[in-house]
Structure 1
C-alpha cells in the first residue's frame, strides 16, 4: 500500500514540476518512510488508548520521537 501511494504522490510531484525526474526515487523512499513512521506512531497511541493508558502512551511517544 505505501509503495503504491508513495509512487503516485511522487508522480504527481514530478508532473507539476516540483520534483526532478532524477530525484523521484529519493522522494518515493522518503514518502514511504514517512508513512511507515506515522503508522507506527498511530499504532502506539491506539494500543495505549485501548489499554487505558492514554497519557503514558502519549508521553512515551513524544519521548520516543526525537
Structure 2
C-alpha cells in the first residue's frame, strides 16, 4: 500500500502534501529540526515531486538522500 499524498524536495526543505499528515509527522521526527517542513499549500512552485509509493521509503532516509 502506498502512503497518502506526496513529498517535494526543495533546497533544504521537505514539502509534504496537505493530505499526508501522518507522513508529515513521521518525517518531522526523523528530520529533528535539520530542515524546514512545509505542507504543499505553502510550497514554492517548480519543485520535484516524489511518487506517492516512494513516501514510505522516504521515511527511512536522511534528508540529504531525498533527491
Q: Which protein shows a greater Rg? A: 1
TM-score by length of 1: 0.24
Structure with the higher fraction of residues in strand conformation? 2
Structure with the higher fraction of residues in helix conformation? 1
TM-score by length of 2: 0.24
Which one scores higher on RCO, CA 8 angstroms, separation ≥ 6?
A: 2
